[in-house]
């Protein structure tokens, strides 16, 4: 469904180049597995989502630019001054600035990673559309099944997200913006069916985001960035590293306690490393440990295992990888 022909909302289509190769299939699969109804819509050839900006509202559609080394982004915005920041968000989500040849040349020196890089030479590390949104999603996914976490996300958007009309989005499937920090800071989130402790964590994060607009900007170092989040109640090392990886775009972030990473790093002898041992091994992958993590997650996801073993992680949410 599209907007009425009489719509006056500006629509701009831009070409966004990247350094090939680019694994569109893995990227869109990552986004599809996490899409929240009303906020996003994903199909094999395109990604759509709503846009909420201080200057206005709108939507974005991203597709591969057939035959070219780049993506095509159609931005629908109520104020053209939104374009630079929305374009930056698209670039962040789709990780178009990565020099994958240089990154993968470095990672290929490791015997564990070399075959993974060879299998997925265009793999990127997807970013978060918005730092606050990504952090909230990470907290929603703590210690629950994929279905439960996604269900909480759906309810959060449906209950607290700003309704957007067809005039704004241009597509009837795009109906709401992600809730703003000031909304969630004042909301009673227990109505969504999550534990009270998790609701408090989101409320505190929201209040912090309102008080500090630079909360999701890179710090002087990865350690400083991680410490900024672990000081907040309810956010541990794993969640902080994940936020640093996806939202802050720290290329060396590495949530070493993640069960899927540990599982993917299991040796030929069947011995699974400890988080400490994996972190030590990952020192050789620096400064690109986030990309090493993405390859390990992809390898783990592709590994067949019994249905009973899917859906939850003891140390981290399966939804987020």
Residues marked as catalytic:
258
| Sheet strand arrangement including 70-77 | 11-17, 70-77, 56-64, 46-53, 40-43
Task: Please count the helices (runs of H) and the strands (runs of E) in the chain.
Answer: 14, 5
Give the span between the Cα atoms of 178 and 180, in whole angstroms. Answer: 6
Q: Is the separation of the CB atoms in 278 and 263 below 8 Å?
A: no
Q: Is the separation of the CB atoms in 262 and 273 below 8 Å?
A: yes
At 136, give phi and psi (nearest 5°): -65, -45
CA distances from residue 189 to 18, 153, 213, 231, 284 in whole angstroms, order as listed: 40, 12, 22, 21, 42
Q: Is the separation of the CB atoms in 106 and 115 below 8 Å?
A: no
Cα 280 from chain centroid?
A: 26
Indicate the burial class of 74 (C-beta count within 10 angstroms; 0-12, 13-18, 19 or more).
Answer: middle
DSSP secondary structure, 245-273, as one string: HHTS--TT---TT-HHHHHHT--TTSPPP
Question: Residue 36, SS3?
Answer: coil
């Amino acid at each position: 469904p599209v907007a009425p022909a009489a719509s006056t909302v500006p629509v701009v289509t831009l070409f966004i180049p990247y350094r090939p190769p680019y694994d569109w299939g893995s990227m869109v699969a990552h986004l599809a597995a996490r899409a929240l109804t009303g906020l996003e819509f994903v199909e094999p050839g395109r990604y759509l989502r709503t846009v909420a900006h201080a200057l206005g509202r709108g939507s974005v559609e991203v597709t591969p630019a057939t035959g070219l080394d780049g993506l095509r982004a159609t931005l629908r915005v109520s104020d053209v001054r939104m374009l630079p920041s929305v374009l930056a968000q698209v670039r962040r989500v789709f990780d178009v600035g990565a020099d994958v040849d240089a990154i993968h040349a470095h990672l290929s020196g490791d015997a564990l990673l070399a075959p993974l890089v060879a299998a997925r030479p265009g793999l990127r590390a997807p970013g978060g559309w918005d730092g606050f949104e990504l952090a909230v999603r990470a907290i929603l996914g703590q210690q629950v099944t994929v279905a439960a976490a996604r269900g909480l996300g759906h309810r959060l958007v449906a209950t607290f997200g700003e309704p957007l009309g067809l005039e704004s989005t241009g597509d009837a499937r795009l109906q709401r913006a992600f809730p703003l920090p000031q909304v969630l800071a004042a909301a009673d989130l227990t109505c969504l069916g999550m534990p009270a402790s998790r609701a408090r964590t989101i409320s505190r994060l929201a209040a912090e985001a309102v008080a500090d607009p630079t909360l999701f900007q890179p710090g002087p170092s990865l350690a400083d960035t991680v410490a900024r989040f672990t000081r907040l109640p309810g956010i541990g090392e794993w969640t902080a590293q994940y936020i640093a990886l996806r939202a802050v775009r720290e290329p060396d972030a590495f949530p070493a306690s993640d069960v899927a990473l540990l599982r993917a790093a299991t040796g030929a002898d069947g011995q699974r490393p400890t988080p400490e041992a994996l972190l030590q091994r990952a020192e050789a992958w620096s400064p690109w440990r986030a990309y090493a993590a993405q390859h390990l997650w992809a390898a783990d996801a592709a590994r067949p295992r019994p249905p009973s073993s899917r859906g939850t992680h003891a140390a981290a949410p399966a939804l987020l990888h």
